[in-house]
């Protein structure tokens, strides 16, 4: 049964984390080395300023780091050197070097802040044997992240903001009449309340899913005659289909599908669309017809949920009690109230190696959706044409924050909004460049069936 979490569930954790931070920050004082570097100003929240040039300066004796207990920046550096970032960030951030190993070593720090990206880097040099350590540092307007569950209230707020305020995300929306109706080709959806496949005679809100199958062998579902055909069981304008999936009715779908059902209910959305379930694979005429409507299916969805795991048995981290995440982030606070923290995964290293980035269908699913929510191992990340948002950010990053060097095709590396924004709706060189990028991205991806290459790119 779905556990519907209340706002108080998240507030209690955020209050606990806030109280712990305030307790640790009461006697904070920036050390002389950090004062010389003006570290507090370097990491002060200001996403609208250009990237500050990196600086390299001495940082004293290595074994003095643990003794600078009142300096929030040194505490973060010492924590990362002793423990690394673990599974919360990339490989470089996992390296460890105890300050006690070589007490007389004098180290240099190279700080590379990037305020507009809200993540910088710190490298420690002059370690024995020409070693060095390098770590990402999160900074800016940081928000506490719940350690086990994705905050559906913040995600719902991002969706609502986009729906009500972003002209470029909604300007070309037409009534999706061709998707719904009485005919055999009408779009099929999953009713997450009844756990049944249904048809809607009228436009309704629904969530889509972008995923890869992975090693799961169960790509076909057993179908049985609908045991509950009475129309009185369903909302007005909703009709059941004749055949249903018993595994769905009894909560036995693959973990990712079950997590999506759970999280849709948490978001307050009743309908979801999953291609493997909602497109009848044994009815070729309906299959071909609906493949030709994929642009409309993804475009008219409330949002596109993206699974970055290696397969459907791995779930969506933080979306249900069965798929908890394990987010650990140390946040420290400067005397002026600004914050820095140990890093969480950026989209770039996750997407770069995720099977999702290699598959042909997932490209068009992402580009055609108005907005997407990516579930990483540590937090949920939202992107649309006009903003990007993370659970670890207090405020979203808007298109106005994007710098000229933030390449559209590498949007996931630069924490920028979707590359399918205003440039896709333009003409001339910008449109040509955008289309060229899309073609390059498409041709580098794989499809299980060669015949799908034309279908995936056609939509």
**Is residue 442 over pLDDT 50?**
no
Q: Name the nearest CA neighbour of 248 among 194, 184, 305, 292.
A: 194
Residue 421: per-residue pLDDT? 42
State the average pLDDT over residues 430-458.
46
Which percentage of the chain shows pLDDT scores above 70? 81
Residue 415: per-residue pLDDT? 62
pTM of the model: 0.87
Q: Are strands 304-307 and 371-375 parallel, antiparallel or unpaired?
A: parallel
Residue 183: per-residue pLDDT? 81
pLDDT tens, position by position, 132-177: 888 999 988 899 999 999 999 999 999 999 999 988 887 665 656 6
Residue 229: per-residue pLDDT? 92
**Is residue 352 over pLDDT 50?**
yes
Lowest mean pLDDT of 262-266, 388-392, 439-443, name the range: 439-443
Phi, psi dihedrals of residue 327, rounded to the nearest 5°: -90, 125
**Is residue 178 over pLDDT 60?**
yes
Residue 452: per-residue pLDDT? 47
What distance in Å separates the CA atoms of residue 301 and residue 279, rounded to the nearest whole number? 16
Residue with tokens 């596109």: 304
Residue 169: per-residue pLDDT? 84
Residue 289: per-residue pLDDT? 87
Q: What is the DSSP string of 263-317?
A: HHHHHT--EEE-HHHHS-TT-HHHHHHHHTTHHHHHHTSS-EEEE-SSSTTS--T
Residue 182: per-residue pLDDT? 79
Residue 25: beta bridge partners? none
What distance in Å separates the CA atoms of residue 112 and residue 93, rounded to the nearest whole number? 15
Lowest mean pLDDT of 9-13, 272-276, 449-453, name the range: 449-453
pLDDT confidence bin for 126, thresholds 50/70/90: confident
**Is residue 248 over pLDDT 50?**
yes
What distance in Å separates the CA atoms of residue 208 and residue 220, rounded to the nearest whole number? 19
pLDDT confidence bin for 42, thresholds 50/70/90: confident
3-state secondary structure of 396: coil
Instruction: Decide: 378 and 88 in contact? Cβ < 8 Å.
Output: yes
State the average pLDDT over residues 286-297.
87
pLDDT confidence bin for 50, thresholds 50/70/90: low
What distance in Å separates the CA atoms of residue 124 and residue 112, rounded to the nearest whole number? 12
**Is residue 25 over pLDDT 90?**
yes
350 CB burial (10 A radius; 0-12, 13-18, 19+)? buried
Instruction: Decide: 457 and 442 in contact? Cβ < 8 Å.
Output: yes
**Is residue 280 over pLDDT 80?**
yes
Residue 412: per-residue pLDDT? 58
Q: What is the DSSP string of 87-114?
A: GGS-GGGG----TTSSTT-EEEEEEE--
Cβ contacts of 49 within 8 Å, gap of 6 or more: 115, 116
pLDDT tens, position by position, 295-340: 889 989 999 999 999 899 999 999 999 999 999 999 999 998 999 9
**Is residue 433 over pLDDT 80?**
no
Lowest mean pLDDT of 33-37, 211-215, 282-286, 398-402, name the range: 398-402
Longest dimension (CA), the chain: 80
Q: Name the nearest CA neighbour of 78 among 59, 57, 52, 56.
A: 59
């Amino acid at each position: 049964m779905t556990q519907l979490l209340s706002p108080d569930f998240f507030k209690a954790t955020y209050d606990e984390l806030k109280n712990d931070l305030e307790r640790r920050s009461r006697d904070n004082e920036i050390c002389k080395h950090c004062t010389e570097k003006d570290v507090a100003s370097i990491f002060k929240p200001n996403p609208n300023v250009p990237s500050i040039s990196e600086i390299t300066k001495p940082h004293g004796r290595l074994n003095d780091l643990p003794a600078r207990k009142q300096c929030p920046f040194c505490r973060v550096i010492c924590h990362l050197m002793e423990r690394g970032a673990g599974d919360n960030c990339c490989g470089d951030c996992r390296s460890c070097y105890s300050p006690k190993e070589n007490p007389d070593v004098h180290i240099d720090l190279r700080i590379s802040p990037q305020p507009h990206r809200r993540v910088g880097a710190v490298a420690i040099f002059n370690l024995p044997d020409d070693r060095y350590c390098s770590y990402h540092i999160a900074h800016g307007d940081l928000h506490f992240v719940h350690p086990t569950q994705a905050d559906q209230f913040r995600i719902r707020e991002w969706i609502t903001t986009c729906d009500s305020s972003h002209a470029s995300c909604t300007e070309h929306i037409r009534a999706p009449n061709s998707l719904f109706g009485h005919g055999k080709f009408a779009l099929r959806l999953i009713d997450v309340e009844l756990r049944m496949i249904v048809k809607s005679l009228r436009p309704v809100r629904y969530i889509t899913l972008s995923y890869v199958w992975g090693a799961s062998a169960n790509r076909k579902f057993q179908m049985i005659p609908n045991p509950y055909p009475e129309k009185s069981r369903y909302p007005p304008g909703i009709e059941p289909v004749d055949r249903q999936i018993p595994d769905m009715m009894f909560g036995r779908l693959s973990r990712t599908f079950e997590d999506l059902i759970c999280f849709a209910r948490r978001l307050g959305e009743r309908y979801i669309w999953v291609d493997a379930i909602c497109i009848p694979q044994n009815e070729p005429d309906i299959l071909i017809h609906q493949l030709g409507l994929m642009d409309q299916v993804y475009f008219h969805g409330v949002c596109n949920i993206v699974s970055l795991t290696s397969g459907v048995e791995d779930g969506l981290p933080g979306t249900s009690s069965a798929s908890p995440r394990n987010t650990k982030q140390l946040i420290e606070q400067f005397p002026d109230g600004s914050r820095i923290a140990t890093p969480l995964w950026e989209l770039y290293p996750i997407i770069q190696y995720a099977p999702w980035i290699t598959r042909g269908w997932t490209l068009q699913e992402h580009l055609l959706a108005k907005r997407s929510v990516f579930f990483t191992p540590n937090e949920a990340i939202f992107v649309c044409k006009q903003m990007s948002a993370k659970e670890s950010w207090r405020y979203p990053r808007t298109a106005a924050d994007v710098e000229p060097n933030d390449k559209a095709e590498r949007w996931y590396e630069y924490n920028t909004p979707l590359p399918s924004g205003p440039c896709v709706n333009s003409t001339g060189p910008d449109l040509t460049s955008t289309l060229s990028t899309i073609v390059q991205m498409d041709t580098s991806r794989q499809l299980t069936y060669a015949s799908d290459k034309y279908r995936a790119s056609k939509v």
